[in-house]
Structure 1
Amino acid sequence: MAPSTPPDSIHLNGLTIKPGERVLTRLVISRLPSGTVIDVPVHVFRSTQPGPTVLLMAGMHGDEVNGIETIRRMIRRDLLRPLRGTIIAIPILNIYGFLNFSREVPDGKDVNRSFPGNPRGSLASRVAHRFTREILPLVDCGIDFHTGGAARSNYPQVRCQLGYPDSDAMAQAFAAPFTLNASLRPGSLREAAFKQQKPIIVYETGESLRLDEHGIELAIAGTFRVLRSLGMAADAPAATQPNVVCMRHTWLRARFAGLFRSHVQVGQYLEKGEVYGSVADPYGEMAVRLESPVAGYIVGINHMPVVNQGDALLHIGMVSESGSRLSQAPPFEEKPSAPEDLDAEEVEEEP
């Protein structure tokens, strides 16, 4: 990556932030019906030395607490002291969802399907627009922290569109237990940033509304490995697990409705034909063993015991036979929205 050198001062939310300064500012988004102002706290940490500007953001979905806790800890422990360049840290973007234990804003829309946003659009679109106008122009790259949605739990993983030198370098430096080749989703932050040639990788861990201590500590360590690779941190913990790169991934879905019992755990390898669970009717009359049609690593699992036909049960990451990590796409040349050998509906939606 060839980071841009920011000017001597950064202009954000009406403030002028000079090199060496640490500032907390608040972007006013809207008001609740009660009149309470809803604003988004933004922390800016600047070095006196020029360098890239890195975004650390969480809380795109308000119930995804692991990313929120990751950034909170880094701020609380006073870890964000870049040797050069700037770090912009946003612990919670979707304040509405955070207050209501929800992924969405009150109008029911997903902020991460609303980029680049519209100042006169829906509430989600207005949140996305404010971010796109105020924050995105300042950054060179970023890490967007997420958590599994609903009752689904994710093993610690990075998602990005592999085959682009900048994204590949960030994912390799982060060195999560798994790296998934994830296509861009319409209206997502990654897509909006991609169009401005600003790589954003997504880190996932755990289950919504539950703290995943292991995944949080891996997130902090991975973040500092990225910062070290950019010359912004002097040291970072070594990765404690090998990084498995999954070029393809798919969901195993319920063929029958009933009570789902899993016999496996996230992170383990699943052989083709291996029994991974069962679905039974609630009256004790029928039970069906579930065999995997593919081999791969379990990177996500559904903990909801009651399932309908078509519900996602296991998210499987598959390593390519060649073991090749990267394709040779030119930087920021857009690729198809889904791998050619998988139906689009079988590719998990990015959170």
Structure 2
Amino acid sequence: MTIRYLIALLALAAAFAAPARAAAVPGKDVPVVDKIEAAGLPTGRHDFYLSVAARASGQPYLVPVIVLKGAEPGLRLGLFAAIHGDELAGIRVIHELAAGIDPKTLKGTLLMVPGLNQPGLEAGNRHFISGSGSGFRTDLNRTMPGEMKGDAAERYAADLWHGVMAGQVDRVVDLHTQTRGTAYPLFVFADFSNAVARQMAFDLMPDMIKNDPGEGGTVETTFMKSGIPAVTFEIGMPERFDPALTTRAHDGIINLMRRAEMITGRAMPPARQPIVGSSYSNVTTDEGGLAVIHVALLDPVKQGQLLATLYDPFGREIATYRAPHEGHVLSVATDPRREPGAMLVRILR
């Protein structure tokens, strides 16, 4: 046996004898459950992974859930974020609330889901992405409360509904942003026919509110139909954490919680009254091109006012677009690339 061969054998033996280094796995100590039962939890913070549906491999999706169980009984508030996988701001708002609220001084329960749509989050996409059809896309926020014997997206939605939503909360704020390539201010959809939902909208202290009857399959409307007051809270732009807007959204939820006497302090009226409307119009392109937007979020506009100019690849003007009615700017395109039929400006009437 040569000296070189002996050294190699000794090195190999040492490698096998050395203790294995454990890999750092974030959240590895978090229990995995099929259903959240917040009522039986003791006072404190509780983190869970909710096992939801299954991938084509048979492995379940794991949805993070944070429960802050107060020391005294009170309202159960549900906060849900990122049912659209590119709408991330609500995740940061939930993280800030979870870190800043002491369950020992909390009345009631704060149930928070920082990432409802795990397939969409992983894909960086608004939709639920299933394996069928090389990546079939479904809007989960038009699919609630799901269907236990439906397709992959419907089953996923049903597991969310029955696992963490239904029967767990008394009020709901569903956290969103505008979709990719566009922006909102701090904005709330609320059905004013429900007095509690209306008050929630103002307590959140947004820039704008739309009195809106809701749309089938959304988190907000599904809860409203089940008798739970709910609103949709839009927090700016997708795919980013905007500190100014996430801080304002956090403060709005704290204000709402004070109104509900979940935490101490007096609910405050907004420093500036929000702009309230009951309808909006989308100004859309007639053909593709590169858009320059001439107005900003919250701007008042008059009928006929110039809103946008569309250019071709050589910088030649293709078309101009004007306001169809007076109102305030609710949303604008942030991506200059506009396909035919794409939104340029949305005006709240």
TM-score range, shorter chain: 0.7 to 0.9
Q: Which residue of 1 aligns with 2:311?
A: 280
Match of residue 14 from structure 2: none
State which of 100, 103, 112 in structure 2 corresponds to 1:89: 112
Deviation at 1:80, TM superposition (A): 6.3
Corresponding residue number in structure 2 for 1:322: none
**Cα 1:119/1:262, change in 2 over 3 Å:** same
Q: Structure 1 residues 258, 174: closer, same or farther in 2, change over 3 A? A: same
Could you tell me which of 308, 322, 326 is aligned with 1:295? 326
Per the alignment, residue 265 of structure 1 pairs with: 296
**Is 1:112 aligned to residue 141 of structure 2?**
yes
1:79–1:241: structure 2 CA closer, same or farther, 3 Å change rule?
farther
Among residues 124, 142, 145, which one is paired with 2:153 in the alignment?
A: 124
Measure, in 2, the Cα distance between the counterparts of 1:208 and 1:243. 22
Greater displacement, 53-62 / 29-38:
29-38
* 1:45/1:81 contact within 8 Å kept: no
Higher helix share: 2
Report which stretch shifted further, 118-127 or 281-290.
Answer: 281-290
Give me the whole-angstrom Cα distance separating, in 2, the residues matched to 1:78 and 1:229: 16
Structure 1 residues 171 and 80, CA, compared in 2 at 3 Å: closer, same or farther? farther
1:247 aligns with 2:278: yes
Contact 1:105 1:123 in 2 (8 A): no
Cα 1:156/1:228, change in 2 over 3 Å = same
2:345, 2:317 → 1: CA distance? 22
The equivalent residue for 2:8 is: none
Mean Cα deviation higher: 263-272 or 196-205:
263-272
Matched residue, 1:180: 210
Q: Distance in 2 between matches of 1:227 and 1:221?
A: 10
Corresponding residue for residue 3 of structure 1: none
* Structure 2 residue aligned with 1:47: 70
Larger radius of gyration between Structure 1 and Structure 2: 2
2:18 pairs with 1:18: no
Judged with a 3 Å threshold, the aligned counterparts in structure 2 of structure 1 residues 37 and 163 are, in CA distance, closer, same or farther, namely closer
1:1-351 matched pairs, under 5 angstroms: 12-13=35-36, 17-33=40-56, 37-78=60-101, 83-107=106-130, 108-134=137-163, 135-235=165-265, 239-318=270-349
Are residues 90 and 290 of structure 1, via their aligned partners in 2, closer, same or farther at CA, if it must alter by over 3 Å? same
Q: Is the 8 A contact 2:71 2:105 kept in 1?
A: no
What is the deviation of 1:38?
1.9
- How far did residue 99 of structure 1 move? 1.0
Paired residue type of 2:91: I
Q: Kindly indicate whether the alpha-carbon contact (under 8 Å) linking 2:177 and 2:183 is maintained by their aligned counterparts in 1.
A: yes
Taking a change above 3 Å as real, the CA distance of residues 14 and 224 of structure 1, as seen in their structure-2 partners, is: closer
Once the two structures are TM-superposed, the CA of residue 163 in structure 1 deviates from its matched residue by 2.4
CA 1:250–1:34: 2 relative to 1, 3 Å: same
Q: Cα offset for 1:284?
A: 4.1
Partner amino acid, structure 1, of 2:162? R
State the shift of 1:164 in Å: 1.5
Provide the TM-score with structure 2 as the length reference. 0.82
Q: CA deviation at 1:215?
A: 1.4
In structure 2, the CA distance between the partners of 1:133 and 1:289, relative to structure 1 (3 Å rule), is: same
CA RMSD of aligned residues (A): 2.2
Distance of 1:193 and 1:82 partners within structure 2: 28
Give ranges in structure 1 of 5+ residues lacking alignment.
1-10, 319-351
**Partner Cα separation in structure 2 for residue 313 and residue 95 of structure 1:** 30
| Shift in alpha-carbon separation, 1:295–1:16, aligned structure 2, 3 A | closer
Change (3 A) 1:84 1:115: same
Aligned length: 308
Matched-pair contact (CA < 8 Å) for 2:191–2:197: yes
Q: Which runs of 5+ in 2 are unaligned?
A: 1-33, 131-136
| Letter in structure 2 aligned against 1:303 | T
Distance 1:102 1:81, change over 3 A: farther
Tell me the secondary structure at the aligned position of residue 240 of structure 2: coil
8 Å CA contact 1:171–1:201 kept in 2: the answer is yes
Residues 287-296 or 154-163, more deviating = 287-296
1:303 Cα shift? 1.7
